[in-house]
Structure 1
Amino acid sequence: MYTFKKAVLAALALIVAGTPVISRAQSQSKGKVLVVMSSANELALKDGKQYKTGYYLNEFEVPYKKLVEAGYTPVIANPKGDTPVMDANSNNKMFFGGDDNARAEALKYVQGVQQLKHPKTLASVVSEGTDGYVGLFIPGGHAPMVDLIQDKNLGKILTSFHNANRTTGIICHGPVVLLSTLSDSEAFQKAMIAGDGSASSLAKNWPYAGYHVTIFSTGEEEALEGPNGLGGYVQFYPVNALAEAGAHVDTFTNWHPNVVVDRELITGQQPMSAEEFGNTLIAKLDGGSR
């Protein structure tokens, strides 16, 4: 009884002070959003070279933080259930409007996300089913081009979201993972690397055929390639891969924000699109929850 009385008095004190009291109903989550990360930290380039990669800081932090602030509950998963690696090159103020304090705050925020240390596995998500999630978010960086592009569990997850018309947001290199829904995504990737023109024949019945999407542009990729950037050249361009599979790829001027929405799918072009992408993701989730 004494504890209850104290709680009531504390609530009254908050009201007098002008601080709103949040009810249990108001504090409940709007729903779980699955956040799929890569387990890869190295991208194979042409001529046997490698690029140390991972997720991009602002492409993860900006939308993730918006999800939390909007009242959603993010649930992180990746292929191995291991800690995702951040691409060191993304820890740069240029991706935060030149504001180094904003970069530092973003890094601090991400370091405080405990889920990143122990994600669920994609296999466990498939086993449990995806009906409990209202949306899906996948950040970029080159890492998804290594494992997520051909991950069969992710293919099942994406297909379930597609069939249920549930919000799916993917940014930068991330949209290349839509290819995981192909019947033989590994063969498709090998065909793209070989450049033998056989890739399109492996894309029959692709769920996203005809969708308008955006992704890290060929011009942006070319700007990063070479000795002063990636240290080499990518084995294929993401734009070409999605186009070969049957998507309409709409890229904008290099390094300018670009977000494309088609049905349940939201795609963002590159790190500069993170803010607009995050806002669009929240707006679509909020619209879908009504």
Structure 2
Amino acid sequence: MMKKILLIITNVDQYASGNFKTGLWLSELTHIYHAAREKGWQITIASPKGGNTPVDPESLKPLVLDGISKKYYQNPGFMNELTHTKSLDEVKNESFDCVYLAGGHGTMYDFPDNTTLQIILRNQYENNKMVAAICHGVGGLLNVKLSDGEYMIKGRNITGFDWFEETLARRKNEVPFNLEAALKERDVHYKKAFIPMTSNVVVDGNLITGQNPFSSKEMAKVVVSELDKQAFN
């Protein structure tokens, strides 16, 4: 059965200070995109405003640019998709089997307070469909409230980029908030890898989260596996 998957990415290209460029962390999109494409699923890429999504230059450095991400970065067709993303308003009334929030520091600015994104995620969650987010993209889950007024992530097992990793990334003085602390304020059961900057994916029912860019490959596998299970239930 063909699945429909919505991949949401940022429009923001720099930190508020203007000191550094940011944007989408490429591998957090390419691995899920590649996995969904291999399955023949229908993929929609959207961003809060639509149009261009910048790629964080840090995610293109040789030490972190893996083979799959490099292949897609060199693919004009794929890069054209990043230049012409749909806006959230264009897709808000569509139905998807999975809504997936890719990360990158840019998402810390245009995900958490986006009301259209919150509506999409609330509807997805309340219809018992998959919500997935990785790294800083998890910040897009912070302010989503359900119909009963409770935060969607309250009491759930969840992960996301931790504060020590932010220190290692040398961005703790640039980011608009501490993601780990913000998640804990929502009374989540926060789960982080024993070793920073290693893969960690947490599944809690229809909510799947990945901790950092190094979780991208495992995250794609888990999302595909969980969606395949649904097809047989």
- TM-score normalised over the length of structure 1: 0.73
Identity across aligned pairs (percent)? 29
Per-residue Cα deviation, 1:189-234 (whole angstroms, up to 9, x for no partner): xxxxxxxxxxxxxxx6112200111101111001122xxxx49443
SS of the residue corresponding to residue 95 of structure 1 reads: coil
Structure 2 match to 1:177 = 140
SS of the residue corresponding to residue 173 of structure 1 reads: helix
Structure 1 match to 2:219 = 277
Which entry has the higher C-alpha Rg, 1 or 2?
1
Check conservation: 2:2, 2:41, Cα contact below 8 A. yes
Check conservation: 1:39, 1:83, Cα contact below 8 A. yes
2:201 equivalent to 1:235 = no
**How far does residue 182 in structure 1 lie from its aligned partner after superposition?**
4.2
**How far does residue 251 in structure 1 lie from its aligned partner after superposition?**
0.9
State how far apart, in whole Å, the 2-side matches of 1:148 and 1:231 are.
18
CA root-mean-square deviation: 2.0
State how far apart, in whole Å, the 2-side matches of 1:137 and 1:108 are.
23
Structure 1 match to 2:51 = 82
Check conservation: 1:75, 1:115, Cα contact below 8 A. no
Alignment of 1:242-281 (within 5 A): 242-252=183-193, 253-281=195-223
Structure 1 match to 2:124 = 161
Instruction: Count residues in correspondence.
Output: 228
2:38 equivalent to 1:69 = yes
Q: Find 1:57's aligned residue among 15, 26, 39.
A: 26
2:12 equivalent to 1:36 = no
SS of the residue corresponding to residue 6 of structure 2 reads: strand
SS of the residue corresponding to residue 2 of structure 2 reads: coil
- TM-score normalised over the length of structure 2: 0.90
After superposition, the Cα gap between the structure-2 partners of 1:286 and 1:103, relative to the gap in structure 1 and judged at 3 Å, is closer
State how far apart, in whole Å, the 2-side matches of 1:125 and 1:105 are.
27
State how far apart, in whole Å, the 2-side matches of 1:179 and 1:50 are.
26
Stretches of structure 1 that go unaligned for 5 or more consecutive residues are 1-28, 184-203
Residue type of the alignment partner of 1:76: I
Structure 2 match to 1:112 = 77
SS of the residue corresponding to residue 128 of structure 2 reads: coil
Stretches of structure 2 that go unaligned for 5 or more consecutive residues are none
Structure ranking higher in helix proportion: 1
**How far does residue 93 in structure 1 lie from its aligned partner after superposition?**
2.8
Residue type of the alignment partner of 1:161: Q
